[in-house]
């Protein structure tokens, strides 16, 4: 069975590319805002294993969204995929164990793949 | 100037010939004089001798004449008497007469009479009778007879020695004529001349003289004295022939011997003769010409020795003068050698002009500088080719004389040096500092102008550059309202900007002047403080201190920065940089004051008006809010100021670029997978293209990522840093500048520890070092980056193969604003910031540099 990944980004192109890239490997669900993302989580709570979110978005930003999501769905692995290289906030989020890791744009398929695989491995154990 | 024209060398050659000529003349004169004197004396000796010979000849002639005329008289009378006898006893009587005569005259040896046919009529005497017929018939006798027939009076025969009577005998013939002069007979007699010879001996005639009595026909010598037995005949006939020769010669030449010659020089003989006497004979006195030499010899040797002495003295003098001249010449040649060597070897430019300002000479330095040869610049070409500006003056109608006047003025106006621009053959302009001197030729009084020039072109261009630099510096210094000043170690101000002057005027009414001991003129307690700050800076300290300074009733707050000025290792002064922070301070003070006042007011009011307390509290709150707002505004201002910095800007830009990069990368990957499924063959073809896209994206990403490291604006040094990543980031950023120029060699340690620090700052620090390394390489070169670990340190060595840093600059590279780059190309801040960052990280930097070989930066960081 394919792993289900939720990807949240306010830019449709990013969503489109992400979906196109990973659809063969994962079951990709996309959302173009934090609100939409929360809705998707609610709808597919049992399927979604990994959530990857953009950082800067209108409304809630990525970390705010994850904070809310994690309070509800704590057994999901959360990641940030950002165009920023470095950010105190993200650093703090990693330190606080809010997110597992952050990826940078343009994303590296292998890096994301490896991270998801390790999550799946953990789950299986 | 050629050698021929050079008056000095002309003088030398003249002197040389003069001396030689003088000595030759002296020699010639001396020789001529000596010869003349010699000849004169010789002539005198000769004349004396001739005079004596002549005298002797005349004397003897007279003597002979007298002697023989007496004999003639006697013989004539005897002959006449004999002839007068007639009758049968004629023969006997005549003989008797003759015998009587002989017996009465002891001299008479024989007496005879010959008739007109030559027949002997009578003869008697002690002579050899046997020979008489032969005698009468002999050719000699006959010839004598013929002579006698023509003769006016006595004819002498040739003397001979008659052995039988041991007497010298002289034959005498006397013609006997009647009244009409008709020859009747000839008395032919012989007389002994012993008495005569005795008489001659008594005359003491010079023993070398030979006296001859010669007949008029030159064919017979009658008497020879002194008589020499045996040799007599030979001498007699020899000499007779000689005289015959004389006669022949003179006759052939048409000269009368008697008139032409009264002296004789022949066959080493000299002599004199008397005029013909009544006897039809004359006397010749000769002597061996060696007698002259004997008389002259003594004189000759005296003259010769005087001459030789004179010659020797002259030669000694000549030698002395010649040597003296040689020394003079050698000295001149040496001087000439020196001066020529100097003229040829000097880098000074030398030109020789004549009074018409025509170029006569230029030295090799000038040839090299102008690129022209002497021939090129000959005469007026000098002006035409290399001083076109002056030449233009000439060609615009001015005459040479005017140019000359200009130059004259220059020379005479004591402006020893003046600069002219000349143009070389290749068209380069050169600034030459000329010093013209006028010299006069001692020989010809001609005027020459010698110009000495120094090429000032390089200096002028350096001056120009330094002026430009100064102007640049001045504009920088003057572009700020902050006070800038430089002090020497004597506390004198050596440079200051307008701002400094303005402040000094306003606060202390001091007009700044360079060299002024401004602190001594400041009548304020701060002067001592400033002095102490300066003195600390002179010891190498860098000071930054806020100082209050009275401004009338008000005061300034100055942030004063003192920094030592280095010249090499030595501190030559200190720079002062003052920021007027009064407004900032005032604002702070005002706020403080305001707050304090407000509090007091509140308290006062709260005490005074209890009922208004609530409202006051409310107002108080409002004021607090205002204050908070103010602070917030201030923070926002600071924030916005930070935002303006490149770092944050780049962070924003990075975000905006990364998104589209994500599109490209994701898009291409997706495209690849789509294509792979749909058309594997097409995918195979497109794969390299996709790789290219990915490579492009990767590079762009690396750059953006690298940039973003500089956006870390926080001052905290709490980040975990991988120094290799930092170095790699910097190399990526600079990759564009390294490409095709610099070969990068990396040698990283395997055991790099994590470093705590500020990533943004460290990026900046290493970027500066690497950037400088790249700039130090002019064309192509290498930069090696190596890291090593010691116990407590990470050592980063960055080495370039660039131009290196000179020792005097090496000590200053950490000074702010120090740069060797052209204005506008570098701020001079880069390395000073780097030093500060490394220092802030507890590290240090060492720099090793070899001029022309490269520079190595060693950064030591604690770990």
CATH number at residue B52: 3.30.450.20
Closest CB to B658: pick one of A13, A17, A83: A83
In whole angstroms, what is the distance from residue B548 CA to residue B582 CA?
9
- Residue B640's pLDDT is 40
Query: What sign does the dihedral A10-A16-A20-A24 (CA atoms) show?
Result: positive
**B192 & B248 share domain:** yes
The answer to whether the Cβ–Cβ distance between B708 and A56 falls below 8 Å is no
**Residue B618 within a domain:** yes
Find all residues with CB under 8 Å of A92, minimum gap 6, and list them: none
The ipTM estimated for the assembled molecules is 0.81
**B385 & B527 share domain:** no
The secondary structure of B134-186 as a DSSP string is HHHHSHHHHHHHHHHHH-SS-EE---EEEGGGTEEEEEEEEEEE-TT--EEEE
- Residue B14's pLDDT is 58
Domain interval for residue B436: 346-455
**B438 & B474 share domain:** no
**B468 & B434 share domain:** no
Domain interval for residue A108: 4-124
- Give which of A56, A46, A57, A11 is closest to A30, Cα–Cα: A11
Tell me the C-alpha to C-alpha distance, in Å, between residue A35 and each of A27, A62, A70, B581.
20, 11, 14, 52
Q: Are B805 and B849 in contact (CB under 8 A)?
A: yes
**B576 & B591 share domain:** no
**Residue B325 within a domain:** no
Chain A residue with CA closest to B656: the answer is A83
Shortest CA gap A37–chain B (Å): 20
* Chain B neighbors of A21, CB-CB under 8 A: 666, 669-670, 673
Ranges of residues in chain B with a pLDDT under 70 are 1-17, 126-143, 218-220, 227-267, 276-277, 393-416, 441-446, 606, 609, 612, 632-651, 706-716, 816-818, 821-829
Chain A residue with CA closest to B658: the answer is A83
**Residue B676 within a domain:** no
**B389 & B481 share domain:** no
**B484 & B631 share domain:** no
The answer to whether the Cβ–Cβ distance between B662 and A56 falls below 8 Å is no
**B280 & B357 share domain:** no
Tell me the C-alpha to C-alpha distance, in Å, between residue B802 and each of B614, B771, B780, B783, B824.
76, 12, 9, 9, 21
- What count of CB pairs under 8 Å joins A to B? 65
Flag whether residue A113 sits within 8 Å of chain B, measured between CB atoms.
Answer: no
- Residue at a domain's end among B557, B580, B603: B580
CATH number at residue A113: 3.40.50.2300
In whole angstroms, what is the distance from residue B554 CA to residue B590 CA?
14
In whole angstroms, what is the distance from residue A105 CA to residue A84 CA?
8
**Residue B141 within a domain:** yes
- Could you give the strand order of the β-sheet that contains B781-789, starting from the edge strand earlier in sequence? B742-747, B781-789, B793-800, B854-862, B844-850
The b-or-e profile of B817-851 (16+ CB within 10 A means b, else e) is ebbeeeeeebeeebbbbbbebbeebebebebebee
Q: Are B760 and B733 in contact (CB under 8 A)?
A: no
Q: Are B113 and B82 in contact (CB under 8 A)?
A: yes
**B505 & B620 share domain:** no
Tell me the C-alpha to C-alpha distance, in Å, between residue B377 and each of B28, B381, B399, B689.
51, 5, 19, 72
Query: What does pLDDT average to over chain A?
Result: 90
- Residue at a domain's end among B622, B644, B666: B644
**Residue B690 within a domain:** no
The answer to whether the Cβ–Cβ distance between B662 and A106 falls below 8 Å is yes
Ranges of residues in chain A with a pLDDT under 50 are none
- Give which of B219, B115, B246, B111 is closest to B158, Cα–Cα: B219
Instruction: Identify the DSSP state of A54.
Output: -
**Residue B697 within a domain:** no
pTM: 0.38
Flag whether residue A107 sits within 8 Å of chain B, measured between CB atoms.
Answer: yes
pLDDT tens digit sequence for A104-113: 888 888 999 9
Q: Structural domain tally of chain A? A: 1
- Residue at a domain's end among B423, B455, B487: B455
Q: Structural domain tally of chain B? A: 5
**B560 & B493 share domain:** yes
**Residue B26 within a domain:** no
**B472 & B514 share domain:** yes
**B374 & B255 share domain:** no
């Amino acid at each position: 069975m394919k792993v289900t990944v939720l990807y949240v980004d306010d830019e449709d192109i990013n969503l489109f590319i992400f979906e196109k890239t990973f659809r063969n490997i994962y079951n990709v669900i996309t959302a173009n805002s934090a609100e939409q993302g929360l809705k998707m989580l609610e709808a597919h709570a049992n399927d979604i294993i990994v959530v990857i979110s953009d950082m800067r978005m209108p409304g809630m930003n990525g970390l705010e969204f994850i904070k809310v999501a994690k309070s509800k769905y704590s057994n999901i692995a959360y990641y940030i995929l950002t165009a920023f290289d470095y950010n105190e906030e993200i650093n703090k989020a990693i330190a606080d164990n809010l997110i597992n890791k952050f990826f940078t744009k343009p994303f590296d398929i292998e890096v994301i793949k490896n991270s998801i695989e390790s999550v799946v491995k953990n789950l299986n154990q | 100037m050629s050698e021929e024209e050079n008056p000095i060398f002309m003088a030398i050659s003249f002197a040389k010939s003069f001396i030689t000529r003088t000595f030759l003349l002296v020699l010639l004169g001396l020789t001529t004089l000596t010869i003349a004197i010699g000849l004169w004396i010789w002539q005198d000796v000769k004349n004396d001798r001739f005079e004596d010979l002549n005298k002797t000849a005349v004397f003897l002639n007279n003597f002979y004449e007298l002697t023989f005329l007496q004999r003639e008289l006697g013989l004539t009378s005897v002959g006449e008497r004999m002839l007068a006898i007639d009758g049968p006893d004629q023969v006997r009587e005549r003989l008797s007469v003759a015998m009587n005569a002989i017996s009465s005259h002891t001299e008479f040896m024989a007496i005879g009479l010959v008739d007109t046919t030559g027949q002997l009529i009578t003869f008697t005497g002690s002579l050899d009778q046997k020979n008489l017929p032969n005698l009468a018939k002999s050719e000699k006798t006959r010839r004598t007879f013929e002579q006698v027939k023509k003769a006016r009076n006595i004819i002498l025969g040739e003397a001979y020695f008659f052995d039988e009577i041991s007497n010298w005998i002289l034959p005498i013939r006397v013609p006997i004529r009647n009244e009409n002069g008709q020859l009747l007979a000839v008395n032919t007699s012989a007389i002994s001349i012993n008495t005569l010879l005795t008489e001659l001996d008594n005359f003491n005639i010079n023993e070398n003289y030979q006296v001859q009595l010669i007949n008029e026909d030159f064919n017979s010598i009658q008497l020879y004295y002194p008589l020499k037995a045996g040799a007599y005949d030979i001498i007699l006939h020899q000499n007779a022939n000689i005289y015959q020769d004389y006669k022949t010669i003179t006759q052939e030449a048409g000269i009368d011997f008697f008139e032409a010659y009264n002296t004789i020089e022949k066959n080493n003989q000299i002599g004199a003769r008397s005029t013909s006497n009544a006897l039809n004979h004359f006397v010749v006195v000769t002597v061996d010409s060696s007698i002259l030499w004997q008389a002259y010899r003594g004189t000759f040797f005296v003259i010769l020795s005087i001459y030789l002495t004179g010659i020797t003295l002259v030669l000694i003098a000549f030698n002395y003068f010649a040597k003296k001249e040689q020394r003079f010449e050698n000295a001149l040649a040496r001087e000439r050698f020196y001066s020529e060597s100097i003229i040829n070897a000097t880098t000074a430019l030398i030109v020789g002009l004549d009074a018409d300002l025509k170029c006569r000479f230029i030295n090799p330095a000038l040839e090299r500088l102008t690129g022209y040869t002497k021939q090129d610049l000959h005469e007026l070409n000098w002006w035409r080719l290399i001083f076109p500006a002056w030449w233009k003056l000439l060609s615009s109608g001015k005459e040479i004389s005017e140019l000359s006047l200009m130059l004259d003025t220059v020379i005479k106006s004591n402006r020893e040096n003046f600069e002219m621009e000349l143009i070389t053959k290749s068209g380069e302009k050169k600034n030459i500092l000329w010093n013209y001197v006028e010299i006069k030729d001692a020989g010809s009084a001609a005027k020459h102008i010698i110009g000495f020039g120094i090429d000032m072109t390089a200096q002028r261009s350096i001056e120009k550059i330094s002026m430009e630099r100064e102007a640049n510096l001045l504009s920088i210094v003057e572009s700020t309202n902050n006070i800038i000043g430089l002090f020497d170690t004597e506390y004198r101000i050596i440079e200051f900007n307008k701002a400094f002057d303005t402040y000094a005027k306003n606060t202390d009414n001091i007009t700044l002047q360079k060299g002024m001991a401004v602190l001594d003129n400041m009548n304020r307690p701060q002067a001592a403080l400033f002095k102490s700050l300066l003195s600390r800076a002179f010891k190498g300290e860098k000071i930054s201190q806020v100082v209050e300074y009275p401004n009338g009733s008000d005061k300034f707050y100055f942030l004063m920065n003192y920094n030592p000025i280095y010249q090499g290792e030595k501190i030559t002064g200190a720079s002062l940089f003052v920021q007027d922070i009064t407004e900032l301070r005032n604002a702070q003070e005002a706020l403080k004051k305001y707050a304090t006042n407000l509090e007091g007011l509140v308290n006062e009011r709260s005490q005074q008006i209890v009922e208004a307390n609530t409202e006051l509290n409310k107002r108080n709150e409002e004021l607090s809010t205002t204050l908070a707002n103010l602070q917030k505004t201030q923070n926002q201002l600071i924030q916005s100021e930070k935002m303006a910095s490149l770092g944050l800007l780049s962070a924003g830009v990075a975000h905006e670029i990364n998104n589209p990069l994500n599109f490209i990368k994701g898009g291409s990957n997706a495209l690849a997978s789509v294509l792979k499924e749909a058309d594997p063959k097409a995918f195979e073809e497109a794969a390299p293209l996709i790789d290219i896209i990915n490579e492009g994206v990767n590079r762009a990403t690396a750059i953006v990522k690298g940039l973003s490291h500089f956006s870390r604006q926080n001052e905290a040094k709490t980040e975990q840093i991988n120094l290799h990543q930092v170095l790699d980031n910097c190399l990526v950023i600079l990759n564009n500048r390294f490409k095709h120029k610099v070969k990068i060699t990396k040698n990283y340690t395997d055991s790099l520890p994590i470093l705590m620090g500020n990533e943004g700052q460290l990026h900046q620090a290493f970027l500066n070092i690497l950037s400088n390394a790249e700039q130090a390489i002019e064309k192509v070169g290498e930069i090696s980056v190596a890291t090593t670990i010691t116990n407590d340190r990470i050592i980063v060595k960055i080495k370039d193969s660039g131009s290196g840093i000179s020792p005097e600059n090496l000590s200053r590279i950490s000074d702010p604003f120090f740069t060797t780059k052209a204005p506008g190309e570098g701020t001079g801040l880069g390395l000073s910031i780097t030093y500060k960052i490394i220092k802030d990280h507890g590290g240090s930097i060492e720099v090793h540099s070899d001029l022309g070989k490269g520079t190595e930066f060693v950064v030591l960081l604690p770990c």
